[in-house]
């Protein structure tokens, strides 16, 4: 069995300490196949509600999805045994948000959503292959670098949110900002979000190897879904900036 790092992912929902407490319940054990199935089920639920708000745009439903999804995420992180129930709710609510957000971007930049979806799953497939073939290895330095970058990005988002409450914001995050600095920052964020997928794969593998309880399959699916949603939104932002720059 290969040795795993003490901290797997830059994703704040996923860290190795989770398994220390969760591993005590061994009635049913976590497997990679089970986690894949739960991820697929969660994604299907997300697509159902996303399709609804895509065809029936509603600012109200979109806001319910954003804040409801945040609540479900917090409940899942702090009550991991609830994951078999809260993750489904998270997927449904996030679907409401993503469908509405995607529709807004599509109206402003025709064709952007299809490109973003293709790139998101292309990156997922490419990094999964790279991970399984050991082309990319989550070494200690790799882990620390991604974790630090993710934390820095989170601080930047928080700072921008606080500024927006006073009527301003960080212009470099605005999709209409076509400066090379703004595009470069978006590209950097996309790269870091992508690299978090590699660490999430490793986190899930560690859980299966250590014999974590069955409900951790749902938690692993949750963490992967969080990263995929983040990646998709950042790709949308980057493509919007490139669209404006071309035109």
* pLDDT tens per residue, range 9-36: 566 666 656 655 555 545 588 999 999 9
Three-state helix/strand/coil letters over the chain: CCCCCCCCCCCCCCCCHHHHHHCCCCCCECCHHHHHHHHHHHHHHHHHHHHHHHHCCCHHHHHHHHHHHHHHHHHHHHCHHHHHHHHHHHHHHHHHHHHHHHHHHHHHCCCHHHHHHHHHHHHHHHHHHHHHCCCCCCCHHHHHHHHHHHHHHHHHHHHHHHHHCCCCCCHHHCCCCCCHHHHHHHHHHHHHHHHHHHHHHHHHHHHHHHCCECCHHHHHHHHHHHHHHHHHHHHHHHHHHHHHHHC
* pLDDT tens per residue, range 140-173: 889 899 999 999 999 988 888 888 777 776 777 7
* pLDDT tens per residue, range 167-207: 776 777 777 788 888 899 999 999 999 999 999 999 999 99
Q: What's the confidence (pLDDT) of residue 3? A: 47
Q: What's the confidence (pLDDT) of residue 78? A: 94
Rounded to two decimals, what is the model's pTM?
0.84
* pLDDT tens per residue, range 23-80: 554 558 899 999 999 999 999 999 999 999 999 999 999 999 999 999 999 999 999 9
């Amino acid at each position: 069995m290969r040795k795993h790092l003490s901290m797997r992912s830059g994703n704040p929902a996923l860290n190795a300490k989770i398994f220390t407490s969760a591993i005590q319940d061994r009635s049913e054990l976590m497997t990679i196949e089970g986690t894949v199935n739960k991820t697929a089920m969660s994604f299907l639920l997300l697509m159902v509600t996303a399709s609804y708000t895509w065809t029936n745009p509603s600012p109200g439903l979109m806001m319910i999805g954003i804040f409801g999804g945040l609540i479900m995420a917090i409940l899942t992180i702090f009550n991991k045994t609830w994951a078999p129930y809260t993750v489904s709710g998270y997927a449904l609510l996030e679907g409401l948000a993503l469908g509405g957000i995607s529709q807004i971007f599509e109206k402003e930049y025709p064709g952007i959503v299809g490109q973003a979806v293709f790139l998101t799953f292309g990156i997922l497939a490419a990094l999964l292959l790279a991970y399984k073939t050991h082309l990319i290895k989550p070494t200690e330095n790799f882990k620390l670098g991604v974790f630090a970058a993710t934390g820095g990005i989170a601080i930047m988002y928080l700072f921008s949110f606080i500024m927006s409450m006073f009527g301003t914001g960080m212009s470099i995050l605005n999709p209409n900002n076509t400066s090379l600095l703004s595009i470069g920052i978006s590209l950097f964020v996309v790269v870091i979000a992508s690299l978090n997928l590699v660490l999430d794969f490793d986190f899930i593998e560690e859980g299966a190897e250590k014999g974590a309880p069955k409900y951790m399959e749902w938690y692993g699916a949750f963490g992967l879904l969080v990263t995929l949603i983040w990646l998709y939104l950042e790709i949308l932002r980057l493509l919007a900036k490139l669209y404006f720059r071309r035109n």
